Amino acid sequence: MFLIGQYDSPFVRRVAIALRLYGLGFEHRPWSTFGDADKIAPYNPLRRVPTLVLDDGEALIESTIILDYLDELVGEAKAMLPRGGAERRKHLRICALASGLGDKAVSLLYERVLRKEQLALWVERCQAQIADVLGVLETERTKVTTPYWLGDRIGHADIAVACVVRFTREAHPQLFDGARYPALAAHADRCEALAPFKEIVQPLAPPKG
């Protein structure tokens, strides 16, 4: 199978890191949604990443769907998300907040680099959403006394948060102050010290307008 997308995307990166942590082999095709949209289209008509193409040709789109498939593939004992109950909902909520943060951080970046005249109302809204989500994630992470949200074992929530924190730090350094979000900063640094995070990384290379 092969994974489409560049690793400066927090969504592509979280999928690739999960694949590596699960010990699943894959090829990487670092196609850009801007420069390589025509290459992506046959696999994903939305021309979005990540897209994971399985050995039989089936293409999975959206990180949540891809990760759900990977969890099923490796089995419940190894999966990085509980299969049901309150714990599953708790961690899905963290994943959803992280994904929403990533969406807003990407949107704000595109607003800056692709529009000659930024729409102030949209910029302010995105900045407020980013700040609010960071505040909630900081509060939630402060409550956790274990190394990871799932305990001593890393899970999808941990990966998602670490990937979007890195992206936000690089894309909008003025919006992420480690002194203001110490629990999130420490969490991200702990994850970034792991071998798969060091291997699967790419400096931010935004499109040019």
**Chosen domain end from 49, 79, 109:** 79
Whether residues 130 and 31 fall in one domain: no
Q: Does residue 69 sit in the same domain as residue 114?
A: no
Residue-wise pLDDT for 76-107, tens only, equals 999 999 989 999 999 999 999 999 999 999 99
Residues 6+ positions from 76 with CB-CB distance below 8 Å: 83
Answer whether 19's CB lies under 8 Å from 1's CB: no
Instruction: Tally the residues of the chain.
Output: 209
Residues of the domain holding 65:
2-79
Residues 125 and 181 occupy one common structural domain: yes
| Type of residue numbered 46 | L
User: Which pTM does this prediction carry?
Assistant: 0.96
| 208: confidence class by pLDDT, cuts 50, 70, 90 | confident
Q: Give the model's confidence band at 209: pLDDT under 50 very low, under 70 low, under 90 confident, else very high.
A: low
> What proportion of the chain, given as a percentage, has pLDDT over 90?
88
